[in-house]
Structure 1
Amino acid sequence: MASTNSWRLEIQSPVAAPRLFRAAVLDWHTLAPQLAPHIIASAHPVVGEGRIGSVRQFNFTSAMPFSLMKEKLEFLDENKCDCKSTLIEGGGIGTAIETATSHIKVEPTANGGCVVQVDSTYRLLPGVEVKDEITKAKNSVTNIFKGAEAYLIANPDAYI
């Protein structure tokens, strides 16, 4: 019987919550190939326009252990910078992972910045063991938000 596992990550940022949420979450399929071309070859919406039920696909370079990942947006509250998505194809689905979901909430802080909270829940396929994948996943998510943060700091008029 496969067990359900999870991990949590918090990332501090000096960037305002709505800007970081729009850049690193809602529009990441547009920014990622520009900011991380060594990892993400291309990305695009497959179904929908960024609303609940939308699916987007990320195509990876050989730097990643899988060639693509498709995620479906299950919940979105843009005003509260809150969303949930489910991995539906690629990214280890069917080979190591049965299911995987992520909940991302970006909350404002008193200093005008924000804190990103990421909760990831996944069910491994029977017989699969997690080694350093959680560390890699956390590093990957941190790199996404720090990459978007650097872009937003360098481009103060973007995503306002």
Structure 2
Amino acid sequence: MGVITYEMEVPTSIPPAKMFKAFVLDADNLIPKVVPQAIKSSELLEGDGGPGSIKKITFGEGSQFNYVKHKIEGIDKENFSYSYSVIEGDALMNTLEKISYETKFVAGPDGGSVCKSTSKYYTIGDIEIKEEQIKAGKERALGMYKAVEAYLLANPDAYN
């Protein structure tokens, strides 16, 4: 098994608490509304939404994938951090054992925030992942992030 790590930072004018509430705590409701072509639905299969819980994410019509299952590893509402792993689904492409994500929102300049994200791709055996595949996944994630940001800018009273 190999591990490929990818890090990304995305700035926004939205404060960390507000971005965390929308992008993490209410993602199951908000993201299907603002990016229905990406995420059709999210369903809690096991647990209460906290660590150890399993969610099934069904992708929208425009996606090349059908679904994934997420296992929530950790959620820290006070420090605006969230971690989960993709443990099942066609997005693993029969080449990955899992993909783990750690996301943290930190204070940025002028009252905004920076989303710091680390992704770890755990390959099956000696299979190699092309950087283009990782980049495509990051582009999709960035698109959802920007859609949530646009929603919050257009609805300044939401998630206060």
When normalised by structure 1's length, the TM-score is 0.91
Q: Give the structure 2 partner of residue 117 of structure 1.
A: 116
- The corresponding residue for 1:147 is 147
Taking a change above 3 Å as real, the CA distance of residues 91 and 18 of structure 1, as seen in their structure-2 partners, is farther
Matches within 5 A, 1:59-98: 59-93=58-92, 95-98=94-97
Q: What's the offset of the Cα at 1:79?
A: 0.8
With over 3 angstroms needed to count, the CA separation of the structure-2 counterparts of 1:129 and 1:114, relative to structure 1, is same
The whole-number CA distance in structure 2 between the counterparts of 1:145 and 1:92 is 19
**Structure 1: distance between partners of 2:116 and 2:99:** 17
Structure 2 unaligned runs (5+)?
Answer: none
How many residues align structurally?
159
Distance 1:134 1:94, change over 3 A: closer
For 1:140, the aligned partner's letter is: R
Question: Cα–Cα, structure 1 residues 64 and 96, in superposed 2: closer, same or farther, change >3 Å?
Answer: farther
C-alpha deviations, 1:118-160, integer Å up to 9, x for none? 0001111235332211111211121121111111111111111
The sequence identity of aligned pairs, in percent, is 29
Give CA-to-partner distance per residue, 1:14-68, whole Å, 9 cap, x none. 0010111111122211112111111222222222332212222210134323210
For the residues of structure 2 that align with 1:69 and 1:4, how far apart are their CA atoms?
20
Corresponding residue for residue 133 of structure 1? 133
Check the 8 A contact 1:5/1:123 in 2, yes or no: yes
Q: What one-letter code is carried by the residue in structure 1 that aligns with 2:148?
A: A
Aligned partners of 2:87 and 2:97 also within 8 Å: no
Structure 2 match to 1:159:
159
CA gap of 1:158–1:48, structure 2 versus 1, over 3 A, is farther
Mapped partners of 2:155, 2:45: distance in 1? 28
Bigger mean CA offset, 110-119 vs 123-132: 123-132
RMSD of equivalent CA atoms? 1.6
The 5-angstrom pairing of residues 3-22 of structure 1 reads 3-22=2-21
Structure 2 residue identity aligned to 1:22 = K
